[in-house]
Amino acid sequence: MCRNIKPLFNFDPPVTPEEIRAASVQFVRKISGLNKPSQVNEASFTAAVDEIAAISTKLLGSLQTNALPKNRAAEAARAKARARLRFGA
């Protein structure tokens, strides 16, 4: 899985449309192998991002859990701590 795609489910505050779109762009970049599509491929690239964002929004809206929502600040702090251990200061 692409390391840049972050989990988006069960957070407080909830995921924003911008975060869903950013994850969708990363996904399309990963599977297409294109960081920035050419003008010829721009329409297909954008359409794929839009479709994946819509499907992701639908998926996140339909998921259910009994777990308490995760705190974004706490999760970010834990990720930074893991990165420090992995890559050093």
For tokens 């069960």, name the residue.
10
Q: For residue 80, give Cα distances in angstroms to 19, 23, 29.
A: 19, 19, 25
Banded model confidence at residue 1, pLDDT cuts 50, 70, 90: very low
Query: Looking at the domain assignment, is residue 2 inside a domain?
Result: no
Please state the pTM of the whole predicted model.
0.81
CA atoms within 13 A on the CB side of 13: 3
Query: Looking at the domain assignment, is residue 3 inside a domain?
Result: no
Query: Looking at the domain assignment, is residue 6 inside a domain?
Result: no
Query: Looking at the domain assignment, is residue 5 inside a domain?
Result: no
Residue-wise pLDDT for 29-74, tens only, equals 999 999 999 999 999 999 999 999 999 999 999 999 999 999 988 9
Number of domains making up the chain: 1
Residue 50 lies in domain: 11-87
